[in-house]
Each structure stands twice: as structure tokens, then as C-alpha cells.
Amino acid sequence: MQRAEALSTFRADVLELMPALKSFARRFCREESEQDDLVQETLLKALANADKFKSGTNLQ
């Protein structure tokens, strides 16, 4: 798999987890804006470290 294709797949997989991340964030933050911030920070960290992800491992 080409690097660009792998990154695209990784991004799609990460974005697919957004509802679960939002649900998890509700446990820590009452305010919806804080929940959104936590999810956004998590997604940014995941995308920034996409090159370290090994295909076939658990993304969660």
C-alpha cells in the first residue's frame, strides 16, 4: 500500500471513531464545547502521529 493511500485510510478510520470519542469525552467534560475541544485535540494527536501507526493493529 502506498504511503499516501495508507494515510488516507488511517484518516478515514480515525474520523470513523469520532462518535465513540465524543461519547468518551462526555465522561470527562460536562460542557459540549469542552467535549469538542477534547475530541479535536485527540484527533490532532492521532493525525500528527499517523506515520507511527502499524497497519493491522487496533486503532482504538
Q: Which residues contact 51 (CB under 8 A, 6 or more apart)?
A: 7
Q: What is the pLDDT of residue 2?
A: 76
What are the residue ranges spanned by the domains of the chain? 3-50
Compute the half-sphere exposure of residue 40: CA atoms within 13 Å on the CB side of its CA. 6
pTM above 0.85, yes or no: no
- Whole-number Å distance between alpha carbons of 36 and 22: 7
For residues 44 and 7, which has the higher predicted lDDT (pLDDT)?
Answer: 44
Tens digits of residue pLDDT in 12-56: 888 888 999 999 999 999 999 999 999 999 989 988 888 887 777
Residue that the C-alpha cell 493493529 belongs to: 57
